[in-house]
Chain A
Amino acid sequence: DRLIPEHAESYDRMAADSDPDFALIARAQAAAAYADAPFGLGRPALEEEIAAWDLDVSPDGTGLPVGSGDVFTGEEVFIENCAVCHGDFAEGRGNWPKLAGGDGSLADEDPLKTVGSYWPHLSTAWDYVNRSMPFGNAQSLTPDEVYGIVAYILYSNYLVEDDFVLSNENFTEIVLPNADGFIIDDREESEYAIWRAEPCMENCKDTVEITKRATVLDVTPDEEVTEEALAATEEEPVQVAAADPAPAEEAPAATPAMAIDQALADKGEKVFKKCKACHKVGDGAKNGSGPQLNGIVGRSVASADGFKYSGAMVDYGGEWTPERLAAFIAKPKAEIKGTKMSFAGLKKEDDVAAVIEYLKTFGQ
């Protein structure tokens, strides 16, 4: 297969780059291995590429990087990055997951399942924080910060003392309370054996009573929204007139006085993904962990209806000019000491400008 020499060559280059001593052995082995590929499709994965993506950590500690973090530092990082959803003490906010508590509750009605009460392996917490958190800004934490956060979560569950330091070296010594609480799927014996039987067709029971009704609870979402949508579409003309560009070009006159650089705003839409977990914009935007941001450029500070602002934000006062917004988005805690917004800030000036441009596109 003519693709194979290319494979061997690139694998070889990779090996030589990373470790010259490795090159000779690798050349022979890789060429032989890649020559055996049934289709010869794809290319060798380079070591740096594997290192960048292969981040998962297993219960026996496989995959953990070198590092450490103590409870106190972990608390700071946690409050900065995690507390907005999970609470200052990992107790959870709103519908977001509680990470602490629930000890001994698993056999109760409505058990509270947290890292402390339910999770069998500490590796799962480290791995998840490292790869998937914070929500909306994943993979932004250093290994030491992750060790610190996990140490703080252990502390919040009363599983370690406040002087505890978690590291790759003592990691597997930590055994979580529910480590032995899991069995492998036993449905084959406990259920299938019983329910693989000829079903009853007649006289299966004497009486049937209704014991529960969904309407009593009344938690089903209503469907009126879609009827409004239908009404809206009915107002649209069925026949579209032949293309006349004039009306479309006049349309910008109807938008607010603020001139918008659409290309920049488009870029800002992408940057705004970092903010979306907490801030909503657009039609029907509601407050979440953070206030809704419609009309934020030019809006009075701390003025979203129903949002509970920090005292620091209220004291900041005045109006959100583009300049003040830029300063706040770049370094939230430097601009407003005591703000509840647990976001480290946008490092690039371009990103700050883009996201402000994007926010301008949402009027009140």
Chain B
Amino acid sequence: TPDPLITEVQEWAQGLGEGVDATPYGMPIRFETDVVRRNVPWLTADPISSINFTPIHALDGTITPQGCAFERHHSGAIELSKDDYRLMINGLVDRPLVFTYADLERFPREQHVYFCECAANTGMEWAGAQLNGAQFTHGMIHNMEYTGVPLRTLLNEAGIQTEGKWVYVEGADASSNGRSIPMDKALDDVLVAFKANGEALRKEHGYPVRLVVPGWEGNMWVKWLRRIEVTTQAVESREETSKYTDTLADGTSRKWTWVMDAKSVVTSPSPQSPITHGPGPLVITGLAWSGHGKIKRVDVSTDGGKTWQQARLASEAGDKALSRFYLDINWDGSEMLLQSRAMDETGYVQPTKAQLREVRGLNSVYHNNCIQTWHVKSNGEAENVEVS
């Protein structure tokens, strides 16, 4: 039968749409209202000190729109205006300085695309398959194009003294969330950023200024950055001792586990993005990243890791940025145990959960970069599972 959407004149083809002034700064069209950040209420005591998750199952490409990029606050997302913004550099420097926002805009700028992943991403999956959806298992990640001033430029403006081996960075919010960063990294690729994806940082991402620490755990990307102190030693603050440390089987814990290792996940099909079209052509897609550099290759398995085939990277891989991969198959409608496996330019291959547990034991939380399995049923629905 002829499709009335084609044979009958539709209202949108006859009447008029909105004028150009209807939404001076637009939101997604209302049909996309399910593409939103989501929270897991039982994870934390209160949404003010909590985390939510990027809807990675519903996005494509690599750039995460700010409006749905995961948020993590320790004392809530504060409102700090550009006029009220001050950035101090003190400690072991020749010239302790205070910058205004306008000062920062006068330094030479750089632009880079980097992923930001919370160290706890996939942490709830350590003990077993737990949350049913790529958003919840892998959504503590976003990837944006940042504009800002290299931290190195600001440190040079202040003049680092030779005893200065670390920088301690802190935010202007009540949590202050300070972290210590070794000087080598501070002088390498750390960025004091004020724009993301071309627009000002959103409130929840640290407006007006945040730190970008490429490839390293998201907790170090201090938002509402207000102070940089050059020190001889790590401060060993709460966020680098009681949290963001990794306890091994014998009860000792690793500290300073800053780098996010190579990782990938199939974003579709997945539990929140089932196959609705039946057998035939199927696009399998996902994301891969590494804090050590560029993604070199992604392999996909449809049989739980017995056999693998190489997926196609959508574009040339960026340094410490998300890569999008595709595998185009002709699905015969049979069940799949769908996995992806990333390899980075250092030759590191994403491990299985069993491999991680063998080294770290069962009580780890952070830095779970294991291979993820989706059980795709013949009706197209998918479930988060763990396989032998």
| Pairing of A with B | yes
Point out the residues of chain A lying under 8 angstroms from B129, CB to CB: 212-214, 217
Q: Confirm or deny: A263 has a beta carbon within 8 angstroms of a beta carbon on chain B.
A: no
Q: Identify the closest chain B residue to A34 (Cβ).
A: B95
For residues 4 through 44 of chain A, which have their beta carbon under 8 Å from a beta carbon of chain B?
7, 33-34, 36-39, 41-44
**CA separation between A109 and B343, bound complex, in Å?**
32
State which size class the interface on A falls in: 35 or more
For residues 301 through 341 of chain B, which have their beta carbon under 8 Å from a beta carbon of chain A?
303-309, 337, 341
Q: Are B235 and A182 in contact (CB under 8 A)?
A: no
Point out the residues of chain B lying under 8 angstroms from A220, CB to CB: 40, 131-133, 136, 271
State which size class the interface on B falls in: 35 or more
Point out the residues of chain B lying under 8 angstroms from A50, CB to CB: 88, 90, 96
**CA separation between A234 and B31, bound complex, in Å?**
9
Interface residue stretch chosen among B140-148, B197-205, B207-215, B379-387: B379-387
For residues 152 through 175 of chain B, which have their beta carbon under 8 Å from a beta carbon of chain A?
156-159, 168, 170, 174-175
Interface residue stretch chosen among A185-193, A249-257, A317-325: A185-193
Q: With A124-B238, A185-B255 known to touch, is A36 a contact of B94 (CB < 8 Å)?
A: yes
Partner among A201, A211, A273 whose Cβ is within 8 Å of the Cβ of B308: A201
The interface residues of chain B, by DSSP majority, are classed as loop
**CA separation between A183 and B256, bound complex, in Å?**
9
Q: Are A58 and B235 in contact (CB under 8 A)?
A: yes
Taking the closest CB of chain B, its distance from the CB of A115, in whole angstroms, is 8
Point out the residues of chain B lying under 8 angstroms from A33, CB to CB: 94-95, 159
Partner among B36, B97, B236, B254 whose Cβ is within 8 Å of the Cβ of A45: B97
Point out the residues of chain A lying under 8 angstroms from B94, CB to CB: 33, 36
Q: Confirm or deny: B117 has a beta carbon within 8 angstroms of a beta carbon on chain A.
A: no
Q: Confirm or deny: B221 has a beta carbon within 8 angstroms of a beta carbon on chain A.
A: no
Q: Are B95 and A44 in contact (CB under 8 A)?
A: yes
Q: Are B341 and A199 in contact (CB under 8 A)?
A: yes
Q: Identify the closest chain A residue to B227 (Cβ).
A: A53
User: A127-145 vs B: 1/0 string, CB under 8 Å?
Assistant: 1100110011011000000
Q: Are A201 and B235 in contact (CB under 8 A)?
A: no
Q: Are B106 and A226 in contact (CB under 8 A)?
A: no
Q: Confirm or deny: B75 has a beta carbon within 8 angstroms of a beta carbon on chain A.
A: yes
Q: Identify the closest chain A residue to B384 (Cβ).
A: A214
Q: Are A226 and B34 in contact (CB under 8 A)?
A: yes
**CA separation between A358 and B381, bound complex, in Å?**
47
Partner among B98, B231, B261, B375 whose Cβ is within 8 Å of the Cβ of A43: B98
For residues 331 through 355 of chain B, which have their beta carbon under 8 Å from a beta carbon of chain A?
337, 341, 343, 346-349, 351, 355
Q: Confirm or deny: A215 has a beta carbon within 8 angstroms of a beta carbon on chain B.
A: yes
Q: Are B363 and A109 in contact (CB under 8 A)?
A: yes
Taking the closest CB of chain A, its distance from the CB of B75, in whole angstroms, is 7
Q: Are B45 and A37 in contact (CB under 8 A)?
A: no
Taking the closest CB of chain A, its distance from the CB of B184, in whole angstroms, is 14
Point out the residues of chain B lying under 8 angstroms from A123, CB to CB: 236
Point out the residues of chain B lying under 8 angstroms from A202, CB to CB: 307-308
Q: Are B247 and A196 in contact (CB under 8 A)?
A: no
Point out the residues of chain A lying under 8 angstroms from B299, CB to CB: 199, 201
Q: Are B387 and A209 in contact (CB under 8 A)?
A: yes
Q: Are B98 and A199 in contact (CB under 8 A)?
A: no
Partner among A128, A192, A214, A276 whose Cβ is within 8 Å of the Cβ of B237: A128
Q: Are B387 and A38 in contact (CB under 8 A)?
A: no
Q: Identify the closest chain B residue to A186 (Cβ).
A: B254
Taking the closest CB of chain B, its distance from the CB of A321, in whole angstroms, is 30
**CA separation between A102 and B98, bound complex, in Å?**
44
Q: With A56-B237, A212-B129 known to touch, is A182 a contact of B255 (CB < 8 Å)?
A: yes
For residues 240 through 289 of chain B, which have their beta carbon under 8 Å from a beta carbon of chain A?
241-242, 245, 247, 249-259, 261, 271-272
Q: Are A39 and B252 in contact (CB under 8 A)?
A: no
Taking the closest CB of chain A, its distance from the CB of B272, in whole angstroms, is 8
**CA separation between A109 and B131, bound complex, in Å?**
21
User: A268-284 vs B: 1/0 string, CB under 8 Å?
Assistant: 00000100110000000
Q: Confirm or deny: A147 has a beta carbon within 8 angstroms of a beta carbon on chain B.
A: no
Q: Confirm or deny: A207 has a beta carbon within 8 angstroms of a beta carbon on chain B.
A: yes
**CA separation between A220 and B270, bound complex, in Å?**
14
Could you list which residues of chain A lie within 8 angstroms of chain B, going by C-beta atoms?
7, 33-34, 36-39, 41-45, 49-50, 53-54, 56-60, 85, 94-96, 106-107, 109-111, 113, 115, 118-121, 123-124, 127-128, 131-132, 135-136, 138-139, 181-187, 190-192, 194-197, 199-215, 217, 219-221, 223, 226-227, 229-230, 233-234, 238-240, 273, 276-277, 288
Q: Could you list 8 further interchain pairs (A-B, Cβ under 8 angstroms) beyond the known A187-B254, A187-B259, A196-B346?
A: A44-B98, A56-B235, A56-B237, A111-B247, A191-B359, A201-B307, A204-B308, A230-B31
The 4 closest A-B CB pairs, nearest first, are A107-B251, A208-B304, A106-B251, A95-B45
